Chain A
Amino acid sequence: MSKNFLLLILKSVRHRPLRSWLTVLGIIIGIMLVVVIFSLSSGIQTAIAQTLRMFGSDLIYIFPGKETNPLSSIVGGERFREKDLLALEKIQGVKFVVPVDAKTLNLEFRGEKKSTMIHAAPWKKMRLIFESSQGVKVEKGVWPQSEVSREVVLGYLTANSLFKEKIRVGDEIILKSSRMKVVGIFSKIGNQNDDNSLFVSLVDFREITGSAGSAFTGLVKVEAGADPNLLVRQIKAELSRQDVVRDFAVLSSDKVTRLIKDVLTIIELTLIVISLVSLMVGAIGIMNTMYTSVLERVKQIGVMKAIGASYDDILSLFLIESGVIGLAGGTLGILLGIFISYLIGLLAAGFGIRGVFSFGSLDFMGLLAILIVTFVTGVIAGLLPARQAAKMEPAEALRYE
């Protein structure tokens, strides 16, 4: 096929009426979804993988919400009573329990305001968990000595890149209108969520937020040699005595890992099914527009045949054209998908969750595969209309008005 033949096809694609292009919206939406899923899921998976690496194997997590759907705890708003969590310490094999709270709050430093995720727990227990189970150290400064000293420790990225100016040990920050002193900065933990957080004592957190005697989650440190699975069952039994949080999940770090991966897989599969349906709708759209196009150009098909176009020429002309329309839908879908992923990344960063999207993590081979798939989808959708066009008798086509 000559270069001129391809140029001829591109020229005819360029002069398609707007409504032909609108029919590829299905393809655009389908591909956009696929791109959003893949570009974000790799970011989310990286973030989760980093977080999971942090989960010490001697920890058990307690969340509000059903075990089969831990995400509901995020939106459910149910909170444990601190005393119910601390009561778990009497179970044999439990070294101690850390009530943990978290909230996104406004953080101000030298006139600049950002919203940041705040994690709160009693300092001593937090230090034990961080240092012994997660291997995280205070890199600069020290751990606060008192629960009521209005001192904070910053995640690595909060100190170094959240604000225009770096925050140093000794600086003052304003957390929801309360002045706090930075006494320490953590080493890089490796997960965006924690590195972008700010850590305060539970007492100070409650004073600032007004939440008293409750905690969002609990962390249980297991004694060396104790069986985490047995402890999970015992903790469940103990916690079912309280009646504040009816549905709760008690998960060993293994189970957390599996659950999160399962949920992500379900979300991915659902979105892939949706995007496949959109792709099919798009393909039907292309078929429709190609049939219309054949009807609109019956006379021109007759002319082209009269001046020497063969069956194969007309077939190629329409097939490549529908392929190009598919490809254009794919390209627009990819661009839109990347743009939306970027926006979601920005939005997530606004909530303190960073690294959800990065251009560097885009899978270019995957994007190329998407382009090939959309081209092939277009070609397949154009097959029947193109055959109809190619089979026309020139005289009959020339008579068509």
Chain B
Amino acid sequence: MTTRRFEGLAQRLLRAGIAPRHVRRLIAELEAHFADLVAEQRSAGLSQADSETQATVRLGTDDVLIANILARPELRSWARQWPWLAFVVLPLLALPVQFVLSMLAAVGVLAFSTQILGMTALHPGAVPWVVAGLQAYGMWIAPMAAAGAACFLALRSGAPLAWPIVGSALIALLGAATNASFEWTPEVPRGALSAGIGLHFPDVGLISSLRAILTILTVLTPILWLRRRRRELSSLP
């Protein structure tokens, strides 16, 4: 638990990109050290106020501590050390992974419905709807989820938004150029599922352009608004 004395320091370190696990332990250690220094000064006969002043001098001011901590690049979070990996490459990779997971989910739904629930091609229940939903997820939601997660993590860790914006643009383009197809057909006896994934780049049509623009707007509008709001709040006295 962070006391008020070191709360500001913890926030500044997190915003500067120091890994949260290092921040938590550094603050705990500094608090314990501060308490030891105060006890040492008190046992030498100083008042509580003077002891705390002396302890602060010996421990170092927040600015000195931050300068020394930031001078150690190995203490930064991995996302700050390799922002291109965290906010561009991994979210881009998350896109095909989501497509594959959607396909597997469609296969799982079909298998469960026919083998466990005993549904047939003539009485498929919600299977066609679920498959259509998964296709819609793969086509429309998956790019937004990947780009949104990258932007949200960057915003939460106080990282610059340049890399996540680049990542979001690339994800939007890749997502728009990707064609995921999940189709359930009422083949006797249990129905059949076909699934496919492909790229239709650079032949990008109106719908694909709309998907790209929608992804970018849906992700970046709230993120940029949140960042602006956070800046306004932090500039308040």
Asked whether A and B interact, the reply is: no
Residues on B lying within 8 angstroms of A by beta carbon are none
User: Which residues on A are within 8 Å of B, measured CB to CB?
Assistant: none
